[in-house]
Amino acid sequence: MIVDSHAQIWVREVIEKLPKEMVREYEKTFGKRFDYSLEDMLQEMEKNEIDKAVVVAVDAQTTFNYCIPNEIVAEIVKKSDGKLIGFAGVDPHKGVVALKEIEKAVDMGFKGLKFMPHLHMLNPNDEKMYPIYEKALEYDLVLLFHSGTQFHRGTKIKYCKPIYFDDVAVDFPDLKIIIAHFGYPWYEEALAVVRRNKNVYFNIAGWSPKYIPDTVIRQMNSILQEKVLFGTDYPLMSYERVLKELKDLNLKKETYEKMFYKNAKKIGII
């Protein structure tokens, strides 16, 4: 079984709602257009034996007018015949409204929340985030955070440092946290936070595995074997390429099993 902990659902109706300059930046950085259908994604998943994939909504309306609506993602998930798992977007600047959005998201079947600290312009340990964490705990939701470098024009990378997750993990020891992209370039910092907090995991989404730093590879194949999650950031990275390069790393059998599905099950994605 293979579970992708981090993918995008950039179908036409989603792309049309994103700020055009940010879409152009994505296309420039990754050298491809991001307009595809649900059928395209499901075919790619089937071809590469991906059983399930998390797809994310994003709500950063109050800062950058960046929004992938929960309603659109929920509808797409519903049409996927159980292949896709939805993580909702919540704008922490909306206060009580954000908390109500979490309740709606649960009613729509979302299993987690996705946050982009650089788009929210808040560190993960900002006090504005804490009522959201309390509400997430109430519904046993998994929290997926962008961490590390990013390519959104006009945003600041300082909000994406992984050290801030340590405060959150200590203050909310039962909160399920995923640090996306292993916090690059601060990957040693991210791995330290993951190692010392039982409730914090990391994924390898958005990376060509052959370029993942050796430190990350060594730890995911040893002391952090229980904490690593498979992820692609599809369509930024293709399933075919990521799976081939992961195989070429010749990791331990148990590392592949835990990364591909056992850790996803443990944290509550499936």
Domains annotated on the chain, with CATH = 3-267 (3.20.20.140)
Answer positive or negative: Cα dihedral of 246, 2, 55, 5: negative
Q: What pLDDT was estimated at residue 34?
A: 67
Ramachandran sector of residue 184 (left: φ over 0; alpha: ψ -120 to 50; beta: rest): beta
Q: pTM of the predicted model, to two decimals?
A: 0.95
Answer yes or no: is pLDDT of 18 > 90.
no
Asked whether 92 and 129 are in contact (CB, 8 A), the reply is yes
Angstrom distance (rounded) from CA 73 to CA 197 = 31
Give the pLDDT of residue 162.
Answer: 98
Give me 30's structure tokens.
Answer: 């990754």
| pLDDT at site 186 | 98
**Residue 152: per-residue pLDDT:** 84
Q: pLDDT per residue over 200-257, tens digit each?
A: 999 999 999 999 999 999 999 999 999 999 999 999 899 999 999 999 999 999 999 9
Residue-wise pLDDT tens digits, 62-120 = 999 999 999 999 999 999 999 999 999 999 999 999 999 999 999 999 999 999 999 99
Cα separations in angstroms, 79 against 36, 73, 75, 85? 15, 10, 6, 11
The DSSP code sequence of 221-259 is TTTTTTTEE----BTSS-HHHHHHHHHHT---HHHHHII
Tokens representing 154?
A: 């006009």
